[in-house]
A = this chain, B = another copy of it.
Amino acid sequence: MKSLHNMPPTDDSGLALAKLFELAVVTFEFMERGLAERGLSRPRATVLWLLHERGPLRQRDLAEAIGVSARNVTGLVDGLERDGFAVRERHPDDRRAALVSLTGKGAATVAGLRGEYDEGAARLFADLGAGELAGFVSTVDRLVASIRAETC
């Protein structure tokens, strides 16, 4: 899917918003290409990332962390298990619960993404001066706060 980032601006802030949308779109495509090369979608990669950050988790914990339904997590973990990225194990203290962990392949995949991420960042921002980089980060912070405030 392309577009919806080609809305013509009506003034300066309109231009800036058009640029922002365009940036969001190409950034998402950039994100997802890297994931797809490793056989991952964004939802599945998010699960792997959480398991890497927080260790083995119950599906319920994953559902809350990601903000999706329990049913959805069942499907995501099914896919990750089928493709060898994660496994369900018995929870030691609660026989209702499954404990989801990374496999070796899952851990290696997260590590690979991490490395690719660092390299990508270095390349992407290579030709920006320190001042421009700092200005960008500061503006992005203000914009993110502003968008979050809209949302409420």
Contact = CB atoms under 8 A, between A and B. Distances in A.
Interface string A6-20: 010111111111011
Given A16-B136, A136-B139, A140-B19, A4 B124 contact: no
A70 interface: no
A108 interface: no
Given A49-B3, A132-B135, A14 B117 contact: yes
- Size category of the binding interface on chain A: 35 or more
Contact of A24 (B12, B28, B135, B139): B28
Contacts of A10: 118
Q: How many copies does the complex hold?
A: 2
Interface string A82-96: 000000000000000
Interface of A: 1-4, 7, 9-17, 19-24, 26-31, 33, 42-43, 45-46, 49-50, 65-68, 114, 117-118, 120-128, 130, 132-133, 135-137, 139-144, 146-148, 150-151
